[in-house]
């Protein structure tokens, strides 16, 4: 049995589906603060927080072989407003989980980390051995949690894989689950709101960055490619391999303007675009070098930006009845 914390959320639910489709049994733990119970269509479901002492019961009840740990807050903007909340939820609550794992001899963890641990990279594409200098509390909370895992692994009888996601995007091709945030802050869902007329326009957060068109560059990776990497990471640990850290991205950077243009093409819709101020905490450019996970785990992203947007558009049309 695999314990999937945050399995009712965006990336967690897609991975939970992929695990079950691959024949693995799961129990999802989610407090539904950012998750949706209707996204847990596979496996068992427990409604609780990873910080609660009651989750001991899950370890007593199920024979847990590994934990996939998605639970956490993920908004850079919110983390700037509420840094303590991010440290408590993302870092301190993970320590609670680790303690229970130790107690019940669960020795494998796959951790949802982020490109935000790098801050403003010194070199692009980014390799895993670059300095970690997060520039916002969200990135910092993930950085110190990675350090806690490193120390835990040094003690022995515990191994982890930390996956540093770049920009997760796109949705389940069957449209059974998808991306739903409240409030929505991510670029592609907001663009699609503009494309369908739910919003009047999309605002670009700054066009005075030192990039070819002045807008920030990101590396968008399909959520199913992320799910696939989690399964490979689990199998890697199951084979007895040591702890490791991997970037997860397509390796290709797209500017905000390029994402907007591609969305117009994929949806066939035109909509207005504003230039707004920069958003605090946004690095100029984040693009992954994912060759390490390709070499060591045989993982390869399968979906390009058009497919990502197309799958997100199908989900968007479904949930909005378009």
Binding residues for ligand UDP (CB under 6 A): 76, 167, 185-187, 190, 202-205, 216, 218, 256, 279, 282
Check 91, 138, 236, 254 and give the catalytic one: 138
Choose among 169, 277, 178: nearest CA to 226. Answer: 169
To the nearest whole angstrom, how small is the minimum distance from the Cβ of residue 203 to ligand UDP? 5
User: Between 203 and 241, whose beta carbon lies closer to ligand UDP?
Assistant: 203
Choose among 217, 279, 281: nearest CA to 250. Answer: 217
To the nearest whole angstrom, how small is the minimum distance from the Cβ of residue 73 to ligand UDP? 13
To the nearest whole angstrom, how small is the minimum distance from the Cβ of residue 131 to ligand UDP? 19
- Tell me if 225 sits within 8 A of 301, measured CB to CB: yes
Would you call 138 a catalytic residue per the annotation? yes
Which residue has the CB atom at the shortest distance from ligand UDP? Answer: 216
- Residue 217 Cα distances to 37, 133, 201, 259, angstroms: 33, 18, 20, 10
Choose among 6, 269, 267, 315: nearest CA to 170. Answer: 315
User: Between 216 and 248, whose beta carbon lies closer to ligand UDP?
Assistant: 216
Q: Backbone phi, then psi, for 35, in 5-degree steps?
A: -110, 170
- Neighbouring CB atoms inside 10 A of 118's CB total 25
To the nearest whole angstrom, how small is the minimum distance from the Cβ of residue 305 to ligand UDP? 13
User: Between 133 and 296, whose beta carbon lies closer to ligand UDP?
Assistant: 133
Per-residue tokens: 232: 């490979």
User: Between 91 and 118, whose beta carbon lies closer to ligand UDP?
Assistant: 118
Residues classed as catalytic: 138
């Amino acid at each position: 049995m695999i314990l999937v914390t945050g399995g009712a959320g965006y990336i967690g639910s897609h991975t939970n589906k992929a695990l079950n489709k691959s024949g693995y049994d799961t129990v999802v733990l989610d407090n539904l603060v950012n998750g949706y119970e209707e996204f847990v269509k596979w496996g068992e479901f427990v409604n609780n927080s990873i910080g609660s002492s009651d989750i001991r019961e899950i370890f007593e009840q199920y024979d847990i072989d590994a934990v996939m740990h998605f639970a956490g807050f993920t908004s850079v903007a919110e983390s700037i407003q509420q840094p303590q909340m991010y440290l408590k939820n993302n870092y301190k609550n993970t320590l609670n989980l680790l303690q229970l794992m130790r107690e019940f001899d669960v020795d494998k963890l796959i951790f949802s980390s982020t490109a935000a641990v790098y801050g403003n990279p010194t070199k692009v594409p980014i390799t895993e051995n670059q300095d970690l200098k997060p520039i916002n509390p969200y990135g910092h909370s993930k950085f110190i949690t990675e350090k806690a895992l490193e120390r835990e692994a040094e003690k022995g009888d515990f191994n982890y894989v930390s996956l540093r996601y770049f920009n997760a995007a796109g949705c389940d091709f069957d449209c059974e689950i998808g991306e739903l945030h409240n409030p929505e802050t991510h670029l592609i869902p907001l663009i699609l709101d503009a494309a369908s007329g739910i919003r009047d326009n999309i605002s670009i957060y700054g066009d005075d960055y030192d990039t070819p068109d002045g807008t920030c560059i990101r590396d968008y990776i399909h959520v199913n490619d992320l799910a696939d990497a989690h399964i490979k990471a689990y199998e890697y640990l199951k084979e007895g391999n040591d702890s490791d850290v991997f970037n997860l991205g397509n390796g290709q950077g797209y500017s905000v303007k390029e994402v907007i243009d591609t969305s117009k093409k994929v949806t066939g819709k035109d909509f207005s675009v504003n230039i707004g101020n920069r958003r605090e905490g946004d690095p100029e450019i984040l693009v992954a070098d994912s060759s390490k996970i390709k070499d060591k785990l045989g993982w390869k992203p399968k979906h390009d930006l058009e497919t990502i947007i197309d799958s997100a558009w199908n989900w968007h049309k479904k949930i909005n009845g378009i």
